Structures are given as C-alpha cells and as structure tokens.
Structure 1
C-alpha cells in the first residue's frame, strides 16, 4: 500500500464539486488502484486482499 500523504485528491474534489460524477468515478478508481498498489500490476485489478487491507482513512 502506498502512503496516503503521496495521494493527490484535488482532481477528485474538483470533479465532485462540479458534479461531474462519471469523471469522479474514474478518478476514484485510479486513486484506489494507486493507494492499493494494484496499479503496479499488469492486470490493474483490486484483489480481495487489496480490499481487506485498504486503509479506512483513504476512504
């Protein structure tokens, strides 16, 4: 898992503020993959273990 302080939520906040829900959804997916480290794997999929270990503070 990546350290949360390295995660930039500004793009997500911008999309949510502008009510651009699809863009926010895509950005949320990218952030979750980045936080879990799944973006470093070839399949870029969250595993059950990724979800179980996902930090609540990142939500």
Structure 2
C-alpha cells in the first residue's frame, strides 16, 4: 500500500511546527481514587462501546 501524499505534507508541517512546553508539574495527577461514580462512568462507556461494536458487527456482510 502506498503512502498518502497528504499525510507526508502534514507530517512535514508538524515537524517544523513550534512546540509549547509548559512547566505544570504541580498539576500532574499523583493519586487516583476509585469511586462508584468513576466506576459507573467507565462501565457505561465500555457498554456503549460494546453495543456499538455489536451493532456494526451485525451489519457487516
């Protein structure tokens, strides 16, 4: 498979783009607490992804 010429142009643009580095060490997450809310949120996302996967799988012919 040949490479998409547009992707090569975008890659070159990104290589020459300036980078922004922030000194935000104070904002790094150091502890994650498991809560019912976060567990439910994660499970809800996983279920939506699975349902979408199953929906697409049944439409593939």
Normalised to the residue count of structure 2, the TM-score between the two structures is 0.30
Normalised to the residue count of structure 1, the TM-score between the two structures is 0.31
